[in-house]
Structure 1
Amino acid sequence: MRLKRIQAEENAASQAASMERRVAFRPPPIGESRTTTITHDSGTNADTYMRLNVGGKSYYVRAELYTAEWTRMHELLDSSHEDRLRMVDGFDSKTGEYYLERNTKLTDHVMDFFVTGSLHKPQNVCVERFKEELEYWKIKPDQLSSCCQIPNEHHHHSRKLSHGTSFNEDDYVADFDGACFAGPRLAMWRFLEDPQSSLFAAIFALLSVFFVFASVVGLILGSMPEFQADSSNAAAYHVMHVKSRPNDLGNKFGNNDEVAPNELLKDFVYKPTDSPNLPLTILEYICIGWFTFEYLVRFFIYPRKRQFVKKTLNIIDLSTILPFYLEICLPLFGVESRLKEFTGAMLVVRVLRVLRMARVFKLARYSTSLQTFGHTLQSSITELSMLSMFLITGIVFFSTIMYYLEKDEPHTDFYSIPAGCWWCVVTMATVGYGDAKPVTTLGKLVATSTSICGIIVLAFPISMIVEKFATAQQRAIEDQQIQQAQMSAVANNALLRRFPTRRKVRRNTTVSVNNI
């Protein structure tokens, strides 16, 4: 209700402003004629009328109508003949027309705004192109009538899935506005967040991706016996798991052909130390140092600290470095290595080390597909909730039936309903480990129904989620193409503004070639 009230107030304010503009631009009442004789001598009647030729179409402009000082039209009317020559693209001394090289399809709507005070957007015209025309005439987009408002916010929300995949500086200008050293900090933030902004930004992003991969590889290798600080039992570990030849164990414990490997392994118990060797430890310190530096730089540059901490990607960054420092701080709280097995703190340490794998998700900062996937899951809460509800209902239903059908069989795997739930989850997910299976005829029929029901339940929500992901991916590609086109247009317009003679020279060259 509050949102509707705010929207109603905004619409009322917009209509009131539109009415004020209409009153300002309203023609004189009947009986108060302001008819003026129009002559071709524009130079002597410049205070009353001005003739404009926009793209080959002539307009008679009356100075009394144009009271909006924020427009280019007012500047033309309020300037002298010499000043006008510097503002236009040409002047015809015979007709007294000032020439502007603009698109007449867009200019008609601009002239209509100057006459009536109501601005409307033409149909089948690119929004960005129309905004460029308004910028040329120095007309603010908020002058548009309510029926033709450019849907910036609606467009932003409709493209929310793909919006997170690219850097939009306009979204951060308000955050940095008013902050100390706002300009350099915003430029630095763009350097950190947009790898396409410059060559050094791309190198920085590649370096961050390299450290992510290096830390993950080091974490994986650190779990192998060969890369532990004490690798003396690595060969015995592999023999115990039948991953190497028995001769390796003989070489480890002595060449004794009369002793079987099982006898050698009789009293052998391998306990991973979770302590990688020195090179991997150094690699871990270097990667954590880089991640810490990257997080702190982002934290101090961004002006709104609370909003920074709540962002998903920043939470992922913090979860990659926080377990490392917590593990270092454990001895400060009395959790020493010799007490870990007795205090249960070893479990805490292992949980912290498992959390290190969260650094894999740091790749989402530099991957468009991962960001799109994350936003797709976020927008698919309804479908995921529906999927969870269907699965829970089916699991409870089929596991209960299977329990009562199989519980009286000898050596049954369905000795309780929770055990049946595990079997039902595996079956409905079409995994089928085979660790539990029915033996009765009715049980097999129920198992068949469970498998078919699982396929049906998973098909509908997943298909909708996949469709959303494909749509978001396509929108991301389109947005990237639009962004590239806009950047190219901005660069081209900046070039033409800086070198205005290039356009005239090019036009004159074209005319000369046609005459030849």
Structure 2
Amino acid sequence: MKFGSRLCTLNVGGRRFFFPAELMKRLPLSRLSRLQRCVSESELLELCDDYDRDSNEFFFDRHSEAFSFIMLYVQHGKLRFVPHMCELSFYNEMLYWGLESADLQPCCQRRLDHRMSECFVHFFPEERPPRGPWEEPPRGPEGEPRRWLETVRRTFEEPTSSILAQILASVSMLFVVISMVMLCASTLPDWKSAETLDQHRIIEAVCIGWFTAECIVRFLVSRDKCEFVRRPLNIIDLLAITPYYVSVAVTMLTGENSTLQRAGVTLRVLRIMRIFWLIKLARHFLGLQTLGLTLRRCHRQMVTLLVFVGVAMAIFSALAQLLEHGLDPEAGNHDYASIPAACWWVIISMTTVGYGDMFPVTVAGRVLGGVCVVSGIVLLALPITFIYHSFLQTYSELTLRAARRRRRATTQAPTDPY
């Protein structure tokens, strides 16, 4: 495609932008520079939506205001978000024209990072947007396996997608509850007999078999196997299932009554890891999802809180050790003989727990204790407001997401084989 020195017109969302052909070659927008290298109109139409040869006009069905801000970046070298436009939508426009997040100003980069950390959630299965005609599996014999895999995937990943999905979710929750009850009951002295141990092993094997089959099926029907493995809930599933097979293998190799089996501290640790199965309930309970997502979004505030507490512990424990023991090592309070020992008193005082197992006896130590308690209340209260509002926002978002899933499942019910 030979442009010569003619004036090029970019029609972006109905708004025209005029550029000399030579200038388009120098623009830091890879999509426009690639237009100059096209040798046929078919290649040209891969980069734009339409082309008028007579007027040398390129048509792009994109956001015109976002492109105008991108052109301001080309002219002045500073790229900022369009006011009242979603950060992710503007970032999508940037990627379309060939820009990256590094081209944004630092303040806008922070806004984009914060927005992406809120939206790209990997702790829970991603919500699939309503399918359009371009996403429908092909009809006929070729598309039947894909439709079947999609139906199975939604059945296991989206409990509200069909009646069968709700039944499977209920069965999975039942097995989790049974497994937890058996885990707790196995620690009772009355459950140490051979008969009850055999019954416990059978129930445990059935539960593990269900969880293993469920995990394998979900892995086989997942769209992205690497993404499936990286999800925290799936990692927890693996950590909860693996100890059972490890303990069975050790039992088969060492014998039921071997010394290793009787003193198997490692095996007991592995068995107690089954408590992580409770986190599987987060797939079905909105409250646990809200808690997990809130912790994910507020990790910076949580780290800040831990830093506050750590600094306060270092200061108050050193002062407490000095006032209670350091000034008179012989007759001083031996509960505060070291700074690490005083750290325990500081943490239970700052959190207002106060077990009473150790306490200051000097006047100066008691004054310090009062300051420590008040400081703990203030420090713990500082980030609570932000975490509280984040929790409310997360709960609202997940509630709306669940409502959309239920509506989508209802509208698709007539065509859903399940």
TM value normalised by structure 1:
0.55
Distance in 1, matches of 2:271 and 2:413, equals 49
Q: Secondary structure at the match of 2:334?
A: coil
Contact 1:162 1:472 in 2 (8 A): no
Q: Can you list the C-alpha shifts for 1:26-51, whole angstroms capped at 9, x where unaligned?
A: 899xxxxxxxxxxxxxxxxxxxxxxx
- Give the Å deviation of 1:201: 0.8
Q: Any conservation in 2 of the 1:159–1:475 contact (CA below 8 Å)?
A: no
Once the two structures are superposed, the pairs formed by residues 26-425 of structure 1 within 5 Å of their partners are: 143-147=61-65, 153-154=88-89, 157=116, 160=119, 168-170=127-129, 181-229=145-193, 277-302=197-222, 304-334=224-254, 337-340=257-260, 346-407=264-325, 408=329, 409-410=331-332, 412-425=334-347
Deviations 1:29-79 (A, max 9, x none): xxxxxxxxxxxxxxxxxxxxxxxxxxxxxxxxxxxxxxxxxxxxxxxxxxx
- Taking the aligned partners of 2:167 and 2:49, their CA distance within structure 1 comes to 52
Q: How far apart are residue 206 of structure 1 and its match?
A: 0.3
Rg comparison, structure with higher value:
1
Tell me the amino acid that sits aligned with residue 347 of structure 2. Answer: V
Maintained 8 Å contact 1:405/1:442: yes
The AA in structure 2 aligned to 1:390 is: F
| SS, match of residue 476 in structure 1 | helix
Deviations 1:427-472 (A, max 9, x none): 1122111111111111111111111111111111233222111111
Indicate yes or no: 2:360 matched with 1:447: no
Per the alignment, residue 24 of structure 1 pairs with 52
Change (3 A) 1:340 1:184: same
| Consecutive unaligned residues in structure 2, runs of 5 or more | 1-27, 36-43, 68-84, 91-114
Q: CA deviation at 1:227?
A: 2.1
Paired with 1:422 and 1:179, the residues of 2 have a C-alpha distance of 64
**Separation of aligned partners in 2, 1:171 and 1:450:** 54
Q: Quickly say closer, same or farther: Cα 1:152–1:191, change in 2 above 3 A.
A: farther
- Give the alignment partner of residue 401 of structure 2, picking from 453, 459, 479: 479
Q: CA deviation at 1:357?
A: 0.7
State the Cα distance separating 1:157 from its structure 2 match.
3.9
CA deviations on 1:210-269 (whole Å, 9 max, x unpaired) are 100110011111111122226xxxxxxxxxxxxxxxxxxxxxxxxxxxxxxxxxxxxxxx
Partners of 2:375 and 2:196 in 1: CA distance: 47
* Counterpart in the other structure of 1:501: none
Match of 2:383 in 1: 461
Q: 1:346 to 1:11 in 2, by over 3 A?
A: farther
Please give the root-mean-square deviation of Cα atoms over the aligned residues, in Å: 4.1
Counting aligned pairs with the same residue, the percent is 28
SS of the aligned residue for 2:303 comes to helix
Amino acid at match of 1:169: R
Shift of 1:336: 5.9
Distance 1:10 1:351, change over 3 A: farther
TM-aligned CA distance change 1:180 to 1:399, over 3 Å: farther
Distance 1:447 1:391 in 2: 15
| Shift of residue 306, structure 1, vs aligned partner | 3.0
Partner Cα separation in structure 1 for residue 236 and residue 296 of structure 2: 16
Change in CA separation of 1:307 and 1:162 when aligned onto 2, cut-off 3 Å = closer
Amino acid at match of 1:294: E
Aligned pairs, number: 330
1:131-172 Cα shifts (integer Å, max 9, x gaps):
xxxxxxxxxxx8233437996955994762889667633599
SS of structure 2 residue aligned to 1:438: coil
* Residue 470 (structure 1) aligned with residue 400 (structure 2): no
Distance 1:290 1:337, change over 3 A: same
Matched, 1:9 2:37: no
Q: How has the CA–CA distance of structure 1 residues 416 and 367 changed in structure 2, closer, same or farther, with 3 Å as cutoff?
A: same
> Would the alpha carbon gap of residues 417 and 151 (structure 1) be closer, same or farther in structure 2, given more than 3 Å must change?
closer
Deviation at 1:199, TM superposition (A): 0.6
Gap change, CA 1:466 and 1:437, over 3 Å in 2: same
Partner in structure 1 of residue 80 of structure 2: none
1:311-353 Cα offsets, whole Å, 9 max, x none, are 11111111111111111111455476332289xx522112112
Which sections of structure 1, spanning at least 5 residues, go unmatched?
1-6, 29-115, 119-141, 231-274, 495-516
- Distance in 2 (CA, whole Å) between partners of 1:195 and 1:313 is 16
The verdict on how the C-alpha distance between 1:13 and 1:376 changes in structure 2, with shifts beyond 3 A counting, is farther
Q: Distance in 2 between matches of 1:462 and 1:472?
A: 15
1:249-292 CA-partner distances (Å, limit 9, x unpaired): xxxxxxxxxxxxxxxxxxxxxxxxxx953333322121111111
Task: Specify whether residues 395 and 171 from structure 1 end up closer, same or farther in structure 2 by C-alpha distance, changes over 3 A only.
Answer: farther
Q: Give the TM-score normalised by the residue count of structure 2.
A: 0.67
Write out per-residue CA displacement over residues 182-231 of structure 1, whole angstroms, 9 at most, x where no aligned residue: 3321211111011111111100100000100110011111111122226x
- Deviation per residue, 1:364-410 (Å, 9 max, x gap): 11122212221221121211111111111111111111111111345
Find the aligned partners of 1:294 and 1:469 in 2 and give their Cα distance: 31
